[in-house]
Amino acid sequence: MGTGSSKNRARQSTSPKGTSKVNPAASSSDPHSYSSQWVGGTNPETGEPAQVHRDTAQAGQGNNTMTAISNVQKTKDQLLKGVSILKETLHSEDDVPHVFVVFGASGDLAKKKIYPTLWWLYKDGLLPKQTYFVGYARSDLSVQAVRDKSTQYMKLQDDEKDKFEEFWKVNYYVKGSYTERTDFEHLNQEINTLPKGDLAHRLFYLALPPTVFKDVSSNIRLCCMGHEGWSRIIVEKPFGRDSESSDDLSQHLSKLFREDQIYRIDHYLGKEMVQNLMVLRFGNKMFSPLWNRDHVQCVVITFKEPFGTMGRGGYFDESGIIRDVMQNHLMQILSLVAMEKPASTSAEDIRDEKVKVLKCMPPLDLDNVVVGQYTGDPEGQGDAKNGYLDDPTVPKGSVTPTFATAVVFVKTERWDGVPFIMKCGKALNERKAEVRIQFKDVPGDIFGGQCKRNELVIRVQPQEAVYCKMMVKAPGMNINPEESELDLSYGARYKGVKMPDAYERLILDVFCGAQLHFVRSDELREAWRIFTPLLHKLEKEKIKPAPYKYGSRGPQESDDLARRFGFIFSGTYKWTKPQL
Ligand code: NDP
Ligand code: BG6
């Protein structure tokens, strides 16, 4: 295996050591895995809680400018301290090589996300010293070709050029099929030729279409498992397309790997503000008395993108927005918003609570759902002129939704009767992901109906923020209520602090063996139970989605549905962006 070779050497292997190892438990006992990576992880060696986020949250309780400045500095220091704890832990494994294999190295995800993420982790010194990267795909490529495709996404700085060269020197590429065992034997042989490769810990990233998940996972199991070191497999969504196919895949994987070896990625779990939900909810006394059916009118969880399928319609049409975003990203957020306080921050305690939420949710009812599909805007610019059906890769007359709003209920003592309104769509008016908790009206109004409902908004992206819309007395001689806000904008409060990308956190978690921000098989099963009847009904009855114009807020029916379930949009709130 050469760093620049494009030669297909996939069939050179004869007797790889790995083929004789058939017991996943034996080959992959995992003494170095963290029990929790949350708040930067508990260091298993010292038992000390890692401090990244905890200290960040504590930083800055003063309220004058000097205190704020010194607290921002403190936050940066604490972040650096957190990073150094991670480094220490990972570098305690420096004598053991790690091999990260990217299956589907020729693909879109690999070039846009996986290789850039590996580079960022590498250049920040967050990976164990002897880490090697092996790209694997059917295409006749070379490391140089992979490099050429992904460099534009790597945000390379001028002073990083030497490090960048170093990074590519520990990259390799192997060409091979996804189905032939001999190709995987060859891959294993190539891994073994790396320095101490036969002793290495192995991470396998499946950046692949679901059609080949089964073949690839079986072949990894048969041919490529670590001999001395552990092996972990990272699976990208979609995990099936309904309950049956998901169960089938889960059963297949569970025959090959232990649950603690499987990392099902939902990259929303790696986002700063999604991880923040735990601290906001359970680190503040003021929210817990309000976080229930007595005070909350409804919860709106929104995902909006301002572009359409952009030529990926063929892929998208197979899934639609419900499978693409709602069943996974929005449901993960919902379970973190709705769950009870876990016994601890360990992965299992938290995931147990998330699963309990899902178990208390009945399947979705079509009466509580609106689906939409975008049409072109004749007055729009460029891509906006085209509707979904104008995309040549989309089948003619497709009824696949590109927008959906669904109202679900969590039948627990805390939430019974509170609508959780999930809304997601492509080709909308803006890019936004947020959680909006709308509180009930104040009973016994004395202000002549001038008060608007409080809302707590946790904006996941862009421009992360937590803000609370509230009533204050309008400054001046009168006593008139006015809408204002408590505003924690991260850009202002944590100026200059670099927020890691979701994939950076998650890939690092896999190196650390931290499962918290990954989807457990029972979570997956429950999520599909909630969505499968609806999806089957939409497909069987070919229910026509409501049209909405590219660049709009989605179909009117969505606002009508939200209103029916008690969400009130007053349209009177105005926010003035503070001068930074
Ligand atoms: P708005 O009152 O403008 O919007 C509230 C909600 O109403 C949104 O969920 C929106 O949904 C929905 N909505 C908008 N138009 C309609 C409509 N015609 N019918 C029914 N529902 C509607 O308040 P925001 O909280 O969104 O704040 C306004 C602006 O101020 C935003 O741009 C926000 O980002 C900004 N802001 C930023 C802060 C910060 O950065 N720290 C702090 C405070 C405010 P939908 O998303 O579907 O359009
Ligand atoms: C992916 C979906 O999971 O999330 C895409 O498949 C979507 O359709 C993407 O565009 C959005 O991710 P982000 O991080 O840009 O919000």
Q: Are strands 455-461 and 465-473 parallel, antiparallel or unpaired?
A: antiparallel
Known catalytic membership, residue 186: no
Rounded distance between C-alpha atoms, residue 320 and residue 328, angstroms: 12
What confidence score (pLDDT) does residue 559 get?
A: 98
Tell me how far the alpha carbon of residue 578 lies from the centroid of ligand 1, in angstroms.
17
Tell me how far the alpha carbon of residue 429 lies from the centroid of ligand 1, in angstroms.
12
What confidence score (pLDDT) does residue 213 get?
A: 95
Instruction: Please name the residue whose Cα sits nearest to atom 35 of ligand 1.
Output: 575
Q: How far is CA 338 from the centre of its chain?
A: 18
Tell me how far the alpha carbon of residue 374 lies from the centroid of ligand 2, in angstroms.
17
Test site for ligand 1: of 273, 437, 457, 495, most ligand atoms within 8 A of the Cβ: 457
Please list every protein residue whose CB sits less than 6 Å from any atom of ligand 2: 305, 324-325, 433
Looking at all shown ligands, the one closest to residue 268's CA atom is: 2
- 557 Cβ inside 6 Å of ligand 1: no
Q: Are strands 231-235 and 262-264 parallel, antiparallel or unpaired?
A: parallel
Looking at all shown ligands, the one closest to residue 309's CA atom is: 2
Q: What angle do CA 255, 261, 264 make, to 5 degrees?
A: 95
- 485 Cβ inside 6 Å of ligand 1: yes
Evaluate if pTM is beyond 0.85: yes
Rounded distance between C-alpha atoms, residue 258 and residue 554, angstroms: 43
Question: Of the listed 201, 329, 517, 536, which one is catalytic?
Answer: 329
Q: What angle do CA 304, 308, 311 make, to 5 degrees?
A: 145
Q: What 8-state DSSP symbol labels residue 140?
A: -
Looking at all shown ligands, the one closest to residue 333's CA atom is: 2
Sign, CA dihedral 253-255-258-259, equals positive
What confidence score (pLDDT) does residue 313 get?
A: 86
Q: What is the 3-state secondary structure (H, E, C) of 359-375?
A: HCCCCCCHHHEEEEEEE
Tell me how far the alpha carbon of residue 569 lies from the centroid of ligand 1, in angstroms.
9
Contact yes or no for 133/100 (Cβ under 8 A): yes
Q: Which is nearest to 562 in space by CA: 370, 375, 412?
A: 370
Query: Token pair of 1, please?
Result: 């295996």
Contact yes or no for 226/101 (Cβ under 8 A): no
Rounded distance between C-alpha atoms, residue 112 and residue 241, angstroms: 24
Test site for ligand 2: of 329, 435, 504, most ligand atoms within 8 A of the Cβ: 329
Instruction: Please name the residue whose Cα sits nearest to atom 16 of ligand 1.
Output: 569
Tell me how far the alpha carbon of residue 564 lies from the centroid of ligand 1, in angstroms.
19
Rounded distance between C-alpha atoms, residue 509 and residue 501, angstroms: 13
Looking at all shown ligands, the one closest to residue 237's CA atom is: 2
Per-residue pLDDT of the chain (580 residues; tens, 9 = 90+): 544 443 333 322 323 333 222 233 333 344 344 433 333 333 333 333 333 332 222 333 333 434 444 444 555 555 555 555 555 556 666 689 999 999 999 999 999 999 999 999 999 999 999 999 999 999 999 999 999 999 999 999 999 999 999 999 999 999 999 999 999 999 999 999 999 999 999 999 999 988 999 999 999 999 999 889 999 999 999 899 999 999 999 999 999 999 999 999 999 999 999 999 999 999 999 999 999 999 999 999 999 999 999 878 888 999 999 999 999 999 999 999 999 999 999 999 999 999 999 999 999 999 999 999 999 999 999 999 999 999 999 999 999 999 999 999 999 999 999 999 999 999 999 999 999 999 999 999 999 999 999 999 999 999 999 999 999 999 999 999 999 999 999 999 999 888 899 999 999 999 999 999 999 999 999 999 999 999 999 999 999 999 999 999 999 999 999 999 999 999 999 998 877 6
Report helix, strand or coil for 231. Answer: strand
- 573 Cβ inside 6 Å of ligand 1: yes
